[in-house]
Structure 1
């Protein structure tokens, strides 16, 4: 830290998110999960989602994985991705469905559709 920089200035800079990754109105944790997702992963996810959205397809995170999107570094980044898609008007949540993974665990998954 520069001797002329105050602690408040330092923290303000440290916690400031890039406007390209900021999600106003969302929690700090969600915003940081999105901000620290690699740009390559975000771009690949967006390419897949935009293709599905253009066709009016409904999709889940499981569908994105089947179409070649690798798992992000942290599981929270899935939620951050979908929050960003909704925030930017690319997709919206349209319901819930059963998981289709072979893990044997029954759980609900959010279903999304492009706008």
Structure 2
């Protein structure tokens, strides 16, 4: 059993996490490994523009999600999991932080939960000062 995230993106403790302290370490290592593989295997013709668009959105003061990237002209990746890898890598680098979740309507009419993101204060300050993270 893995820890679930609430709408505020705060991990809740599960019995497995409390009883087995190495569970969190193992989960983080697997997540980092999967994130690295997804980033390394991504098509650079998708990954690079998507990363640039995400950094642009992170420099602003408002929240955003995957639809915000689509609105900037970023096409769908080869597999949907690349979206998660993109946001996960940016979060691990300290570029963005999760600030909540909303309901998103997919093109086929189904609904899904979608995390909302915002650029970290450090990233916004660095961007305004002319630096890059």
Q: Same fold (TM over 0.5)?
A: yes
When the two structures are superposed, what TM-score results if normalisation uses the length of structure 2?
0.62
Q: How does 1:40-59 map to 2 (within 5 A)?
A: 40-59=45-64
Q: In structure 2, which of residues 41, 47, 50 is the aligned counterpart of residue 36 of structure 1?
A: 41
Which of the pair has more CA radius of gyration? 1
- Which protein is richer in helix relative to its size? 2
After the TM superposition, which segments of 4 or more aligned residues of structure 1 sit over 2 Å from their partners? 24-31, 100-103
Contact 1:62 1:101 in 2 (8 A): no
* Residue matched to 2:117: 112
Give the structure-1-normalised TM-score: 0.70
- Mapped to 1, the partners of 2:105 and 2:58 lie a distance apart of 21
Structure 1 residues not aligned, in runs of 5+: 1-23
Match of 1:80 in 2: 85
- CA RMSD of superposed structures (Å): 1.8
CA distance in 1, matches of 2:106, 2:79: 19
Structure 2 unmatched ranges of 5 or more: 1-27, 121-133
